[in-house]
Chains A and B, each alone.
Chain A
Amino acid sequence: MSGLLYKDFLLVRKNIVTGLFLIAGGVLFAIIFILGMNIGNFQEIKELPDVYNLFFKGTIFMVCIGGVCTALTSSSSIEQDYKAEWYRVLYSSPINIWQEIFSRYILAFLVNTIMCAWAGVLIPLVYMAGNENFGLAQMKTVIYCWLVGMLAILIRLPIDIVFSAKTSVVISCFLMGVCLIVFFIWLTCEQEVENIITSVIGWLNWIYDHGIVVVLGVVVTSFVFSYLGKRNRRWA
């Protein structure tokens, strides 16, 4: 299985490097902007707490989401495998379906973890630049994003594994579209922005508190779907 992991890593290494630079770039931009607020006309922005908070926390959130998106691109190795007809090599070698599936998950988890860890290392710099307190509570954003990344991978990978690359993109876009529509309807029905934020934080807290249960449940379901789909697709 280490061979498969190495192969997948080679295929997505450019994505990883891009992701690392993306996060570093986001952090650098935030630091420059925050430090710049202390001079010139930007001083006024700092005195508007809502704007400042939105920018400050928004940047951190975007940095973390950048990591999650990079982790999701790790599934591009599946598409590259199809293009190269890698399955001829794979299915004539002594590798079983479980090893094949595990290697995909391990790579995606590793990329997600690397990205979040990198964000976790750089984000304190943003807090330092803004003279804000930084502790474990502030790291929650990174942990949330790591959890969201894991969930996104667990949902996306079975789709990528079971279907071809094109179909998988269509299904993923469809699912994302449905989620966005539901989210949009909810936003328009809910008048109080504070309620929305409280609800989202509540959900994230619930996942955070019941992390093991949620992750185990989704992992098992995701693996079962991947295995069943792969087993049938293998004969195609």
Chain B
Amino acid sequence: MALNYAANNAIEINNLNKSYKDFELHDVTFQVPSGQVTGFIGQNGAGKSTTIKAILNMLKTDSGDIKVFGADNVEAEFDIKENVGVVFDDIGFHPNLKPKHIDKILKGMYKNWDSEVFFDYLDKLALPLNKKVKDYSRGMQMKLQIATALSHHAKLLIMDEPTGGLDPIVRNEILDIFMEFIQDSEHTIFLSSHIITDLERIADNIVFIHKGKILLAEPKDTMAERHGILKCSKEQFATVDEEDVIGYRKSSFGIEALVGDLGKCRIKYEGMFCEKTSLEEIMLFYVNNTQI
């Protein structure tokens, strides 16, 4: 099956289900638009890595279908992987290997491997050629992984916590590389992260997963425009429609509630204070709401 790079969505997941003893992905459905950065947020154990592994056909799903560049991820697995760069939270290379070895190994694994691009990235990221992987710092190991993911002319980057545990300077450098990569309109990035500020900086879309279910999947700007915080007293809160509120918490001034339609609430609850909020706050309210 030929891959369609001009498809509107680089990844399409429909009704994906996967059950484990103590966890399940339940009807996971979302799309990753081509040419954009999509951030995948969720708590530890929410199902981010499981979803990414399912996309890469690294685990057997119970039901549902996954399409990458318009092709089924199982039927066209190897064509897809030829065009996908993957970065995990930990490096998978043997500690005694050097970058020159990694170049030769991956050259024999990818048809489109480009040694020139690889060494250019190593140079740009200031990664020493003569050091072994075990002598690299965590930041350097992540950079090395990113260099390998970008050196076979991948059109889609899938990353699982690529900036986790890194200092702000290295994170910034890595985000700059992603920004450079996404300048090409054919390129797409799908990355999971705990660090919402990173996603606020680079993501065009946000997919929020919680306890194996997708709670939100929409453009970041729409999400920021749509949601807001309603600040009011307990008495005022009693008059608010339950359906307008996603979650609430008690504060020193009374009640702070997350509303799903800020514009509507500003008109509807004139006497109360409504304001925009951050992505992080939105996520916290969604999680707390589901816990109440």
A residues sitting closer than 8 Å to B (CB atoms) are: 1-7, 10-11, 80-81, 84-96, 234-235
Contacts and interface: CB of A to CB of B under 8 A. Distances in A.
B88 A7 contact: no
A86 B101 CA distance: 14
A94 B57 CA distance: 11
Interface residues of B, number: 29
9 contacts: A2-B108, A7-B94, A7-B105, A10-B101, A11-B94, A84-B95, A86-B93, A86-B94, A94-B81
Nearest to A14: B96
Given A11-B94, A80-B94, A93 B108 contact: no
B216 interface: no
Contact of A93 (B90, B104, B109): B109
B168 interface: no
B82 interface: yes
Contacts of A90: 92
Task: Give the 7 A-B residue pairs with the shortest CB-CB distance, closest first.
Answer: A3-B108, A2-B108, A92-B86, A88-B92, A89-B92, A3-B109, A94-B78
A218 to B, nearest CB: 28
A52 B249 CA distance: 92
A5 B104 CA distance: 11
B124 interface: no
Contacts of A235: 59-60
Contacts of A84: 92-95
Nearest to A7: B105
From A3, A4, A11, A88, residue with most partner B Cβ within 10 Å: A88
A85 B89 CA distance: 12
B23 interface: no
Given A1-B108, A11-B94, A87-B92, 13 more contacts: A3-B109, A4-B109, A6-B104, A10-B96, A10-B101, A80-B94, A81-B94, A85-B90, A86-B92, A91-B56, A92-B81, A92-B84, A95-B78
Nearest to B107: A3
Contacts of B88: 88, 92
B97 interface: yes
Contacts of B111: 94
Given A1-B108, A10-B101, A94-B110, A85 B92 contact: yes
